[in-house]
Structure 1
């Protein structure tokens, strides 16, 4: 049935082992638990929960309007259905360093394998938009130290995201990343890298695993997994891809329904009832129910 058979601790241990393997981990974003089931079935290495997607699902812009409760709740729903480690976007930690500490505790309790915290000023904005502001390095260092000190499972991965390249330049972003690693960050997420040269510079300067963000319509060149692996990246996320694919199809389908008065002409573009039942493991629930309710009137 659609519940993970692997403990949160085991998922965290797997994530750390995979990060140490020197191979590239492919981690698509899941907009909901059903997408996470598909991510696992198709053989990816992990599941990602995007703050931008959680916000968009609530019809909100990605400017820090979502709460820890909303984000941890969605993260827990997604982690529940997958045996893969789930990594979540924790924005700026939802406040001051003490809030970042509470955030880590809440995400651990929700079954997540790791999170990333960023050095933007509250309220944050999408990392691929202009006009971002970043905290001073010392503030982010306190944020990271609070998060690291709060975790109860050492396997929980804390990733430091820096948005400073677009604001202060690549060199400054690298210096920040080094400070974040010294503060205890297990992984670094250099946001809005322009291309291979930027990733290469980070790889030469930072010793911990690196996360690459391949989001569409942003500032980064969309590199292949082969390119990213050759650059020494340890993880690649595709944060909004599933949402964009789904919403594009939904909008097209609703327009057809409105204009033609029937969905008959687009049924062949839909997921079938049988495939949906397969993904939610309908047969196992039915067998369980029949086993428990085994008498007739």
Structure 2
């Protein structure tokens, strides 16, 4: 039986001497680009989902249907490649969190993170975030763990998902409260911890040493220009982080390129051709040859003359 994406993610997390590098993707095309580059794991950014699907800022406006549809699309492109998805607050109380976890497991998501902001949340790199009390946060993590176990029981252990506990408490409540929340989350079943906005390498080292001694990997959210202190990948590895996600990687590149070419069209009435680029190149990136081969095997005749 092929290894599930969640099982593969657990294998990667168990490699204490290495670090998982996850480019932030937000749709099928950016996921295909990252897969072409050979990344072992992908990260579905919540901000990118909000910006691309709604055209709106990351202010808690996306709901489970939008996030799930996006995660399902991305996960389906390479079912053996783990996808870690932003699941925000879980979108409600314990029952809703359980529904979110079950749906993500059914969609093939390998890991998700749940946070401790109020339902009307905002991007972790904006100011004045409001948090729920610690017991409410823990009820979210506990609900996720229970839902995962129920799905495991129903599928005979085939279904699984890695639960990542995220806290945004550092900026408003301080380091001790943030650490306490993460330690409690691990105690109720979280697999990985994620402190938003780590202020520097020394703070990161304290967090990593505390949790790695318990066999719990730590995730670093690397957002250039955000509240997290910038670290190179080598620095993050040396500090002890087990996972680094880059949510804005594709977003920033796409914004820069699209602004440039649309501005060129507006100013000059023409667009310079990108060497070697045409519709077929993009179609091939997204599985054109595989589609044609499948159609042929099924007895289809529509593409006998080529495309």
TM-score between the two structures when normalised by the length of structure 2 = 0.89
Task: Provide the C-alpha distance between the structure 2 equivalents of 1:92 and 1:107, rounded to a whole number of angstroms.
Answer: 14
Partner of 2:101: 104
CA contact (8 A) 1:174 1:205 kept: no
Pairing 1:261–2:269 present: yes
Once the two structures are superposed, residues 222-252 of structure 1 have per-residue CA deviations (whole angstroms, 9 ceiling, x without a partner) of 2111111111111000012101110221111
Once the two structures are superposed, residues 32-67 of structure 1 have per-residue CA deviations (whole angstroms, 9 ceiling, x without a partner) of 112212212212120111111111111111111111
Task: Provide the C-alpha distance between the structure 2 equivalents of 1:279 and 1:230, rounded to a whole number of angstroms.
Answer: 35
CA contact (8 A) 1:97 1:142 kept: yes
Pairing 1:276–2:272 present: no
Q: Which runs of 4+ in 1 moved over 4 A?
A: none
Pairing 1:243–2:251 present: yes
TM-score between the two structures when normalised by the length of structure 1 = 0.92
Task: Provide the C-alpha distance between the structure 1 equivalents of 2:238 and 2:276, rounded to a whole number of angstroms.
Answer: 37
Q: 2:5 aligns with which of 4, 11, 24?
A: 11
Task: Provide the C-alpha distance between the structure 2 equivalents of 1:143 and 1:236, rounded to a whole number of angstroms.
Answer: 23
1:269 Cα deviation from its structure 2 partner: 6.9
Once the two structures are superposed, residues 120-165 of structure 1 have per-residue CA deviations (whole angstroms, 9 ceiling, x without a partner) of 1121111111101111111111110001100114631000000001
Task: Provide the C-alpha distance between the structure 1 equivalents of 2:277 and 2:101, rounded to a whole number of angstroms.
Answer: 36
CA contact (8 A) 2:197 2:229 kept: no
Which SS does the other structure have where 1:107 is aligned? helix
Structure 1 runs not aligned, ≥5 long: 1-5
Which SS does the other structure have where 2:236 is aligned? helix
CA, structure 1 residues 161+270, in 2 after alignment: closer, same or farther (shift >3 Å)? farther
1:209 Cα deviation from its structure 2 partner: 0.8
1:281 Cα deviation from its structure 2 partner: 2.5
After superposing the two structures, state which structure 1 stretch, 74-83 or 32-41, moved more. 32-41
After superposing the two structures, state which structure 1 stretch, 27-36 or 286-295, moved more. 286-295
CA contact (8 A) 1:27 1:44 kept: yes
Task: Provide the C-alpha distance between the structure 2 equivalents of 1:215 and 1:118, rounded to a whole number of angstroms.
Answer: 17
After superposing the two structures, state which structure 1 stretch, 205-214 or 267-276, moved more. 267-276
Q: 2:200 aligns with which of 182, 192, 195?
A: 195
Structure 1 residues 143-162: aligned runs within 5 Å: 143-151=140-148, 152-153=151-152, 155-162=160-167
